[in-house]
Amino acid sequence: MRQSIQRQKLEKERVAGSDLVKRDVAENIESYLRHDIIKIVTGIRRSGKSIFCFMVLDDVDFGYVNFDEKEIAKLDNYDEILRYVQEFYGDVEYLFLDEIQNLNNWELWVNSLHRRGYNLLITGSNAKLLSRELATHLTGRHISVELFPFSFKEYLDAVGFDIKDEYIEEEIGIILNYLKRYMEIGGFPEVVVKGYDHKYLQTLFDSIILKDVVQRHNVRYADDLYSLAKFLMSSFSNEISYTKLKNTLNFRSVNTVQSYVRYLEDTYLIFHLDMFSFKQREQIKSPKKMYVIDTGMANAVSFKFSEDIGNMMENTVAVELLRQKSNSISRIEVYYWKDTQHREIDFVIKEGPDISQLIQVCYNINDLKTRERELRSLVGAAKELNCNNLLVITWDYDNTEEYNGNSIRYVPLWKWLQK
């Protein structure tokens, strides 16, 4: 135990001297740093939560404990941890508790530390830290931030590209090349910064399935779970229904499929959008649109490498919208839409009671049939949903045009991701 805390201190000091990428959500935590409110950062494993917290705490003295080590997580007397923290760090006010979900009854101990005056920053790789358990035990005394793999802006920063307001044509070509690479390898920091390959992502995927799903939920049929996870990672940007998943993968019941999908979403591997409807019952019963948190991991573990750049563009937009929804002050809801004529809208943005924007994602907008289909769906939804803010995210087309009396804004994906 003592050796583990000492080794982690050395790891912390080594990271402190590194050149690190500034994360977009840093100010969401920094503004609360000196308040005694409990600060919580969640996200998928290896998304950079620890490094992010080291950066946030750069100007203060703090003790650090990583509960991903079994020797520490299995302790019965949690205050024994404090003994060694104080031995190696002194009488610190700030504590950074990493991957806290590995500690049984963590929320009770965190409450105890908070009552004793410690300023706490904690991280976890399970979405339940943001749900019922968290709300029940830390009501009114915490703020939460979700950290994702690098956004495209963070990716450009990491590879040393100078982000500007205006670019010459040559620079736009370079950005498009970076965007293709970003969608291929994804945004996990160690892939982008250290150049780790798909084998790393495959290993990370396996570790998440084992540690955060199989072991945590005592899953009996681990092979079935693994098959489902790989199937969903191969099917991003597509609709799924639990009944079809049950039949396709020979599951015993729809309830099992629903439980497994929920477990996978809790780990941040995947997420879904509901179909927008003014009728809640219809919304609940409709198929879900499934996305992955990182296209690089999907390419690494799926049954075949995705050659559909349109699907990867759509998934990239979905993750960015999820990022905006997660860390926005305003209340944003994101859906997809489909009517009885099978006209589809990729993203319906709802703010409060109103639909504020409709978004289509289209790679080959120059194809006349594709263009006509996308625009007809867009103006049809605009009329039905009473929204005139219409956006088409393209690969490289930038313009504003009129279509059947509607103003349509076309924006390249790279530009939309930098806004």
Domain positions in the chain are 2-147, 197-307, 313-417
- The residue whose two tokens read 């995705």 is 306
Dihedral over Cα of 363, 365, 369, 370: its sign: positive
How far is Cα 124 from Cα 135, in angstroms, rounded to an integer? 15
Q: 181: part of which helix (H) or strand (E)?
A: helix 169-185
Sort 95 into a burial class: Cβ within 10 Å, 0-12 / 13-18 / 19+.
Answer: buried
Q: What is the residue-level pLDDT of the chain in tens, covering all 419 positions?
A: 789 999 999 988 888 767 789 899 999 899 999 999 999 999 999 999 999 999 999 999 999 999 999 889 888 889 899 999 999 999 999 999 999 999 988 988 999 999 999 999 999 998 877 666 777 777 778 888 999 999 999 999 999 999 998 999 999 999 999 999 999 999 999 999 999 999 999 999 999 999 999 999 999 999 999 999 999 999 999 999 999 999 999 999 999 999 999 999 999 999 999 999 988 888 888 999 999 999 999 999 986 555 689 999 999 999 999 999 987 766 899 999 999 888 999 999 999 999 999 999 999 999 999 999 999 999 999 999 999 999 999 999 999 999 999 999 999 999 999 98
Helix (H, G, I), strand (E, B) or coil at 366: coil
| DSSP conformational letter for 21 | P
Q: Which residues contact 138 (CB under 8 A, 6 or more apart)?
A: 38, 107, 110, 111
Quickly name the fold that domain 197-307 has. Arc Repressor Mutant, subunit A (1.10.10)
How far is Cα 262 from Cα 259, in angstroms, rounded to an integer? 5
How far is Cα 193 from Cα 134, in angstroms, rounded to an integer? 33
Prediction pTM value: 0.95
Dihedral over Cα of 239, 245, 249, 255: its sign: positive
Backbone torsions φ then ψ of 40, nearest 5 degrees? -125, 130
Quickly name the fold that domain 2-147 has. Rossmann fold (3.40.50)
